[in-house]
Amino acid sequence: MRSLAFLAVMATGLLTAGLVHAGGLEDKNLGEAALKLEDFHRAIDHFTKAIQSGELSDADTATTLNLRGLAHYSNIPPDRSTGNSQQIRRHFDHAIADFSQAVRLVPEYAEALNNRGQAYHQGPYYTHYVNQSRRAAEDFQTAAKLGHAAAQFTLGWYYEKGWGDLPQDRQQAAKWYRKSAIQGHSNAQYNLGVFLTAGSFVRRNFTESAQ
């Protein structure tokens, strides 16, 4: 009798070869596995099959869209000067479109809002969206109010720098750094520490700004 391990390997091979249809949830799981291995093209392929299967709930579809957006976003080379600008633009556009569809399905999807904000923030030279800094700030504000630690940190940073049509406001920056720091965000903890040791204004107004 063949072992279960052998049968599992055979099943994986058949799925990879496309000889057996995995099903929506299985494709989603295979996409997540490929994403962890940084096999972004295969991840995108599996996520697309999962979305097109029509077998996922709205919540699972939103999650899969967010993950596919991350795969597109992660496929952008860190040194963009070495990449093809048209390919980079396509990845940014696909990522933003996926994050946006996820948010349409689940309006309070903080992770997708934060990811879209990051894409708006990182892609102004490669995408056609106008007022990207303002759009990023709006997404970070919404996600931050939903309790997303990374968005809270970035919103604090936007207030500190006065980006995205937000006023330069150290009190608001300290407020959002604190909220993020409480959740264990290391960069927020560092920036908040700098604020508290650097100026009496922030120390004096810190209690009020945290409310």
Kindly tell me the number of DSSP H helices and DSSP E strands found in the chain.
11, 0
Report whether 158 contacts 121 (CB < 8 A): no
Least confident of 73-82, 166-175, 178-187, 196-205: 196-205
Q: pLDDT: is 85 or 98 the higher one?
A: 98
DSSP 3-state of 18: coil
Tokens at residue 117, please? 């904000």
pLDDT band per the 50, 70, 90 thresholds, residue 87: confident
Given CA atoms 200, 201, 202, 208 in this order, what sign does their dihedral have?
Answer: positive
How confident is the model over 157-181, as a mean pLDDT?
95
Q: Which of 180, 125, 184 is nearest to 155 (CA)?
A: 180
